[in-house]
Structures are given as structure tokens and as C-alpha cells.
Amino acid sequence: MMTRDRAESSSNVSTTSWIEVVALYVMSITLALMLSALLVEATGGSAGTVVEALVSGSLTSPGRWGQTIGIAVPILLVALGTIVSTRGALVNIGQEGQLLIGAGCGAYASVHLGNHHQWPGGVVLVAIIAAGIAGGALWAGIAALLRYKRNVPEVLSTLLLVAIASQVVAYALRRESLLLAPLGRGQGTQTQQTLAVPESARMPSPEIFGNEVSLSLVLALLAAFMVAFALARTIWGFRLTVLGHNARVAQRSGVAAARYGGIAMVTSGAFAGLAGAVMLVGGDFGNYRLSAGFAANIGWTGLLVALVSRGRVLPAVLIAFILACLRTGSGFLAATGVERRITDVVQALLILALLIPPALLYVRERRRTEAALDSRDLS
Amino acid sequence: MPTESAPVLRVEGLTKRFGSVVACERVDLSLHPRRIHGILGENGAGKTTLMRMLVGLHTPDAGTIEIDGQPCEISNPVDAATYGIAMVHQHLSLVEPLTVWENVALGDNHRLDPAQTRDDVVRLGERYGLPVDPNAVVADLPIGLRQRVEILKSLRRDPRVLILDEPTAMLTPDEAHELFGAIKQLVEEGDRTVALVSHRLDEVIEATNDITVLRRGVVIERTASTDATADSLALAMIGTRPVALKVRTATASTGRVVLRISDAVVAGVEGQRQLDHLNLTLNAGEIVGMAGIENNGQHELIDVLSSLRSLDGGQIRLDNNEVETGSPGAMEAAGIAVIPADRRDSGVVLEMSVAENLALSDTPIAGRLGLIDLDAMRTSAEALIDEYGIDCVGPDAPMWSLSGGNQQRVVLARELCRNPKVLIAAYPTRGLDVGAVAFLNEQLLAAAARGLAVLLVSNETDELLTLATRIVVMFNGSVIGELTGDERDRTRLGLLLGGRTS
């Protein structure tokens, strides 16, 4: 019924091709690896042996890739939650604290239901995980409440809550009524840690090809699928995406920022809390006991993974695994005579390498968009 | 108007273009000593561009600027200052956490002398009736006093020509009156020249000696203020342009009241009201035009009708049911469709696809179990793309890849496909080409013919006069007048735009 004005054509808009994207990533990663090799050689090591050690420590030596997966799982869980909050344009950077509180709540369930009341193992395991989720959700919920009731920027509140979280857990670790393990027989001083999670309540880790693979891997992959599906295929994900891109459009079309943003934030915390609980029952961290420093930077690493994967689930799975490899692999570096901390530098370089291409692409896309819009509006 | 004294500043043939838009075309202007010169015009008439050229913020494409008969080149505000020209901008540029004297001292390039600066503020303030405490923190001052600080800051450099760009835009009537008193004193006792840019008829007649009226970048009229009447100025400002588009006006309505806005109040800063007891009713089947100079409350009203902000008083009733203001999606759910003034701000999500943008409120795509019904989304998107002639590569095309006109069609398609009862179209043709404008106007008429109540908010006098059955005029946050039938003429409209009700 209407006439189309042919003067306005929209066919000549080109997006970046995937070949360009891949080339960009390959180039930037190669550069990072070359720099790393240079650094190793400069500090008196040999790049070849370092690579060998890393691969052997993370994958090929007996039992190692099982452990790598044990570390990749919580990283991925944290990243998945962060992807959800980022979709709503919320900047949650307090995963480390949410994870610690989650682990703390899980440990409380383990100590009181498992060690004291001797509930059946399966029930305790479920309780630990549920408590972890609740704890993380609660901790992020505080930030969400402050954000939507008092307009406190969530960047600040989540970050500051990390410091509070470690104090809260440290306090609980000094009270026998809360988390502290009672003085054992023949023990001179009490170490600030909990009793170990009862064996029956630990996450089963069946042996596959000589590696103990924690069942939490299944949990994490299932969660990854659910997050990807929820964001792409549900009305809830659609609304959250609208909110994240344009809060005014969202408000106009009936998306309540406090509700959707709040849920996204709490979900993000729940995932971090789940990661904490999984770490506790998985045994790769702290040998089934909660102690100070239990979070071990997994929260920060997960945040990094979400950042590098630009909010997409599949790349997040991959990157979580790579970062876990670097972590387990670095354990084997001592034998090569290279400073163990070199892996921190390599990790930093790799992350930079992964962050630069998306930043470049974003800038370029934005410029094209603006150029396209400007030329169109004047026409 | 001819004065005996030679002009301080004379401008000849000044022209400035932005791309294909001509902001000022061959403008001649003479500012004489000890006189206040009013520059009058609608939004976009080129007033501010002209003044910005005088202080070196824009470089003219053609024309000359003479000071005391000497041609000079002004390429930046520092040049302008050396020639003795200073400008107080409409949007104040003060550093809020700093004190008054600190702000006044900003931009000095000699050693800071706090005592001297404080003295200057007090001395100049007393002399010209612009007193202000030099030690007060700017953030604590009301707008009127902040503007005083800005003027004192300029005066301390001892300019011969002082340009004031819409100085009363944010002032209360009392504050404005005080300001004009000070300006008179400044000119008479201080031996200075003032150029006063404004769109308010009354204040220009009251406060100035000479008046120049600009329309679309061209000088339309030069007159002495004593010879000017509000009528003659209004007509000069609005003009009698030939009607560009032959469109029929929507038929006068006899429909029932659909939307009733009563006593709407939105509070602003400094105790001002952005909406001040606004009353408006829209009937089914009519197009009501809403005219008004920018910042007289139109944007606040549109935001309220878009559920983007709540009322501080009054209510909005649709079909006699009260609609909650400021609640997410409430207006839309009640049946109020909105084409927002800035589609990128609240109309579309550039990063999402055309299909997703067409389904923003998601009722048509909601499938079972909270899932998106992808088939329904695609089918309805394809139908709307076809019906509204949206030119894009398909439903999955990213929104940013569409031209402005086609983005506007997406907004229109989405808003109309839900069978609303009211359509609010805010500056719907702004920035669009002729074809897209015609399409949009047709759509508005068709909507009214289907029985929708349409509110067309616009700056385009022609658009309003041709499309609207009646025109309401916004001034200081409320409707100050309404023109129906034969009353809809340019002079009356111009008077109302300038705040004159009689």
C-alpha cells in the first residue's frame, strides 16, 4: 500500500566477515605467545620446555586433565552468571565475594548437617549446593537492592562486598558454633578451617581413562546450555536484552528495570555461589575444607572469562578451559627452573590478546554504524 | 532606528552552512554603542549560529566582520576577547563545586589574585545591580544567580560588546525582570553594547532598542523596538511560507473524549515546574497539534505519556480509566502509542534486529512456557515490513543498518500494529527526507480517520497548520492557548509561541 523510497537503500551495509575475525584472533594470540617465549628465554629458561611442562601439567600427565576440569568448572560457572548480569547491562565485579559466601554457606550446611547431624550423604550434597546458591544470590541481592532502592552503582557495591565477604567468612572461621573445626586430638593449635566435607557428601568423580572427572562437569555444561537457551529463546531473555541495550525503551515497553535487572544480578550471584559450593565438594580446592583464601581468584578469573567471551556462552566454555590449563600447568613449571609466576604473565598476555580483537571490532563496527547513520539521516 | 553614532560592530553578508543546511545566509547586522539589540527568531532560525560567529566559535563561510570600521578576523573566543566581544551562553559553563570568585577567575592567564578577584565581583556587582557573594559555592546558587556569575565573569574582562544567548530561558519572570534592569544599567552607565538573543516577544520589545528578526538564517525584519508590535514581530518570526505539502486536514472531530490529562504537574529543579497544571483532552478521530518553543514542557509531557516519568500531581485518564504514571509499560498497555522525539533514545534498540524491534512489547511473539515463538516473530515482522514498506534486507537485519526514515517506519509499524487508542507523534518528521515525511503525514491522517486520537507535537508551523484540526500551544509547562478552525493563523500562533495570550 505504501511507496518505498528507493533513495534509501539498506543493502550495502557490510558486517565484518568471520575470516577477518579469526585472522585477528590468530594474529593477536601468536603475538602474545611470541612475547611470552621471549620473556621466558630472557629470564634464562627455554620456551620449548616451558610449553612441554604446561601441556604435561594440565593435560597429558596421569590424572591431570581431570584436575584441570575440576578447576575449569567453577570458572565457567562464575562466567555464566556474569554473562547473565552483563546482558542486563549490570556490571557485577564482586563474584569473588559471592563465591566465598556461597562456599561459606555450603560449608555451614556440610558441617552442621553432615559432620554434626550425620544426615545421609546425598541429602547433604544437595543441601551444600543449595546453600551455596542461596549464599551467592543473597550477597549479590544486597547489591541489587542498593542499586534499585537507593541508586548505588552496582560496580561499587559488588566490589566492596568482596572485602566484607572475606571478613564475614574469616569471622565464621573463628567460631566453632559456625564453621571452625574443633580442636582435634593431639593437635596443638587450631587452624582456621572447617571439618572436611563427609566423604559420602562429596561430588562423585568417576574415573575415566585414568582421570577422576567430577560430575560437576555435567552440572556446568547443563548450566551453560540453560543460560544460552534462556538468553536466546525465552521472553525473559529477550526482555533482559532490551533492558541491557536501552533502558528507556525497556521502561516504555513494560520491562521493569528493578525486576529484570534485580533477577539478573541475583542469578549472577547464585552462579558464583554455586561455583563456591562446587569447589568445596569437588576437592580440587582446599581438600574439601573451607579456609581463608579458599576463593583462590576463581571469581576474578570467571569475570575475566565472561569479559573475554563478550557475553557468549560457547567461547566462555573454551576460554574457561584454557585458563584452567594454565593454572594446573603452572604446577609443573618448577621442574623446568622457570619462575612459576611466569604463567601469570603468560595468562595476562593471553587475556590481552583475547581482549584486543573484540575491542578493535567493536570500535570499527561502531564507526561504521555511525557513518551509515549519518550518511542516511542527511540523505 | 537609524542612530547617529557609528556602529561598534558591523557584519556584512555573513553566511554559514553546515553540510547542506544553511544556518545563516548573507546576514547584515549593526550594533551601535549604548544600545541593546534584540535578535529574534524561532528555533533553528540561525540566531545562535550568528552570535557564535561573532565570538569565533564558528568560522563564517562568507562575509565580513568590522569593529570600529576595521575589518577583523575572529577565529576563536580569545581573539573575540581582545576585540572586546564576550558571550554568555544559554547553557551556563560554570564549575559547580567551585566558589563564585574561583569561577570568575577561571581563564585568567596571569597569577591568581583571590583578594582582587573577590573585590572585582563585589565592585562590578554593586555597580550594575548584579550583587552576588563571591565566596558562595556555585552549586548552592539558584539558576538566576549562576547566570549573574556568568555575566560578571564576562564583564570583568571589560567587553565593549556583550552577547546574551537566551538569557531568560531558565529564569523566573522576576529574575528575568531584574536581569533586564541590570542590562539597561550596563548599557547606559557602562558605555557598552548588548546583543540579546531571544524568542520571547514581550521581553524583546520591553528590553531592547533595536530588533532584528531572523527566519531560516535570513534577516526578515529590522526595526526600532518602539515601532514594533508583538503582532508584527510574530508574523515576521513565523512567516507566511507557502504550504509545502498538499495534505488535507483531518476532518473536524465530533468524537468522544479518549484521553484526558488534568492538572498535570512535573516538578523541575529550583522549584520550577516543567509541567504546570497542564490540561488537555484528545477526542477520537482528531489530530491535535501541539506547538511551542523548545523546553516549554513538551518533552516532559511526552515522557509521561511514554511511562518514562511519573506525574507529581494531576492524572491521566484514558477512556475514563486512570492510568498509572511512571509504571513500566502502563501507558502502552492502556493503549497510548508513542513515536518518540528521538527514536534512538526511546524508540528503537539499534543493536537488535528489525523483527525484534517490531516485537518489543513481545505480546505477539510470546509462545508457550515463556519461550519466544520464532515463527510468529518472523511472520508478523514480514507482514509489517511489507505493509509499511520498510526497506531492509529482512527481518533479521540489524536495526542500525536501516536509514532514519526506515527506522521511523519500524517505530510507526510497531506502535500502530497493537491497535492503540491514542497516538502521540513527537516531531515525527524531524530529519526525514520529503518522501518519508509525506508517508508519515499520510499515516497520521489515516490513523485519525480510523478513530485514533492523535497528538502531533511539532516545531513545523506548516505541518501543524495543514494536519491539525486544532492547535494547542505550550508555554512554561502548560497550554496557554488553543486555536481552532479559522483562528489557526500564523500571527495568533506566533503570539502564543512568544507567550502572549491576547
Dump pLDDT digits (tens) for B250-277: 555 567 899 999 999 998 776 678 899 9
Domain borders along chain B are 9-238, 244-335+420-502, 351-419
- CA-angle at A282, arms to A278 and A287, nearest 5°: 120
Backbone angles phi, psi at B311, to 5 degrees: -80, 145
Q: What is the pLDDT of residue A377?
A: 41
Cβ-proximal residues to B111 (8 Å cutoff; 6+ apart), any chain: none
d(CA A88, CA A150): 18
Average pLDDT over residues A272-284: 95
Residue A289 CA, chain-centre distance (Å), reads 21
| Percent of chain A topping pLDDT 90 | 58
3-state secondary structure of A45: coil
Would you place residue B45 in the very low, low, confident or very high pLDDT band (cuts 50, 70, 90)? confident
Pair B423, B206: CB distance under 8 Å: no
Backbone angles phi, psi at A356, to 5 degrees: -65, -45
Q: What is the DSSP letter of B388?
A: T
d(CA B68, CA B6): 8
Q: What does B214-231 look like in DSSP terms, one character per residue? A: EETTEEEEEEEGGG--HH
Contacting residues of B for A379, CB less than 8 Å apart: 403, 433
Residue A238 at interface with chain B, using a CB cutoff of 8 Å: yes
Contacting residues of A for B352, CB less than 8 Å apart: 241-242, 245
Would you place residue A211 in the very low, low, confident or very high pLDDT band (cuts 50, 70, 90)? confident
By C-alpha distance, the chain B residue nearest A379 is B433
By C-alpha distance, the chain A residue nearest B348 is A249
The closest CB to that of A252, out of B308, B366, B372, belongs to B308
Residue B474: its H or E element: strand B470-475
| Percent of chain B topping pLDDT 70 | 92
Pair B459, B289: CB distance under 8 Å: no
Dump pLDDT digits (tens) for B299-317: 999 999 999 999 999 999 9
Residue B44: which region, alpha, beta or left (left: phi > 0; alpha: psi -120 to 50)?
left
By C-alpha distance, the chain A residue nearest B432 is A377
From residue B94, alpha-carbon distances to A132, B91, B150 in Å are: 51, 9, 7
Q: What is the pLDDT of residue B444?
A: 92
Tally of helices (H runs) and strands (E runs) in chain A: 13, 2
Residue A245 CA, chain-centre distance (Å), reads 22
- Does B242 score more than 70 pLDDT? no
Average pLDDT over residues A230-250: 95
Record the cell numbers describing residue A351, joined without a space.
587475556
- Alpha-carbon torsion A18, A20, A22, A25, what sign? negative
Q: What is the DSSP letter of B267?
A: E
Average pLDDT over residues B95-123: 89
Considering only CA atoms, give the Rg of chain B.
25
A64-87 vs A235-245: helix axis angle to the nearest 10?
A: 70
Domains delineated in chain A: 43-183+190-361 (1.10.3470)
Q: Is A248's CB within 8 Å of B19's CB?
A: no
Cβ-proximal residues to A125 (8 Å cutoff; 6+ apart), any chain: A201, A202, A203, A281
3-state secondary structure of B27: strand
Residues in chain B: 502
Helix, strand, coil: what percent of chain A each, to 5?
70, 0, 25
Choose between A224 and B107: higher pLDDT. A224
Would you place residue B344 in the very low, low, confident or very high pLDDT band (cuts 50, 70, 90)? confident
Q: In b/e form, how buried is each residue of B62-82, taking b as 16+ CB within 10 angstroms? A: ebebebeeeeeebeebeebbe
The closest CB to that of A8, out of B365, B387, B403, belongs to B403
Cβ-proximal residues to B229 (8 Å cutoff; 6+ apart), any chain: B205
Residue A3 at interface with chain B, using a CB cutoff of 8 Å: yes
The closest CB to that of A10, out of B307, B387, B397, belongs to B397
Pair A109, A128: CB distance under 8 Å: yes
Residue A12 at interface with chain B, using a CB cutoff of 8 Å: no
Average pLDDT over residues B424-447: 83
Distance from CA of A107 to the nearest CA of B (A): 35
- CA-angle at B82, arms to B77 and B88, nearest 5°: 45
Q: In b/e form, how buried is each residue of A333-345, taking b as 16+ CB within 10 angstroms? A: beebebeeebbee
Residue A282: its H or E element: helix A257-282
A154-172 vs A95-109: helix axis angle to the nearest 10?
A: 30
Pair B420, B410: CB distance under 8 Å: no
Q: What is the pLDDT of residue B434?
A: 63
Q: Given this structure, which CATH class describes domain B9-238?
A: alpha beta
Q: Is B328's CB within 8 Å of A254's CB?
A: yes
CB atoms within 10 A of CB B110: 6
Grid cell 500564523 in the structure block, residue: B490
Q: Is B403's CB within 8 Å of A379's CB?
A: yes
d(CA B464, CA B471): 7
CB-count burial class (<10 Å; 0-12, 13-18, 19+) for B15: middle
The closest CB to that of B391, out of A9, A238, A239, belongs to A9
Pair B433, A375: CB distance under 8 Å: no
Sheet of B478-484, strand order: B336-339, B422-426, B453-457, B287-291, B470-475, B478-484
Contacting residues of A for B415, CB less than 8 Å apart: none
Q: What is the pLDDT of residue B502?
A: 64
Q: Which amino acid is at B363?
A: T
Q: Is B328's CB within 8 Å of A378's CB?
A: no
Q: What is the pLDDT of residue B433?
A: 66
Q: Which amino acid is at B77?
A: P
Residue A308: its H or E element: helix A298-308
CB atoms within 10 A of CB A276: 38
Pair A344, A368: CB distance under 8 Å: no
Record the cell numbers describing residue B393, joined without a space.
534486507
Highest averaged pLDDT of the listed ranges A145-149, B47-51, B285-289, B491-495? A145-149
Pair B283, B252: CB distance under 8 Å: no
Cβ-proximal residues to A379 (8 Å cutoff; 6+ apart), any chain: A7, A8, B403, B433
Q: Is B328's CB within 8 Å of A251's CB?
A: yes
Same fold, B9-238 and B244-335+420-502: yes
Contacting residues of B for A377, CB less than 8 Å apart: 403-404, 431
Mutate to test the interface with B, among A243, A245, A249 (most CBs of B within 10 A): A249
d(CA B183, CA B171): 15
3-state secondary structure of A367: helix
Contacting residues of B for A87, CB less than 8 Å apart: none
Q: What is the DSSP letter of B6?
A: P
Dump pLDDT digits (tens) for A36-60: 889 888 887 788 888 888 899 899 8
Contacting residues of B for A4, CB less than 8 Å apart: 389, 391
Candidates B40, B37, B7, B88; CA nearest to B208 is B37
Dump pLDDT digits (tens) for A112-124: 999 899 999 999 9
Pair B129, B181: CB distance under 8 Å: yes
- Does A4 score more than 60 pLDDT? no
- Could you write out the three-class secondary structure of B147-205? HHHHHHHHHHCCCCEEEEECCCCCCCHHHHHHHHHHHHHHHHHHCCEEEEEECCHHHHH
Candidates B91, B166, B158, B101; CA nearest to B134 is B101
CATH number of B244-335+420-502: 3.40.50.300
Residue B66: which region, alpha, beta or left (left: phi > 0; alpha: psi -120 to 50)?
beta
- Does B419 score more than 60 pLDDT? yes
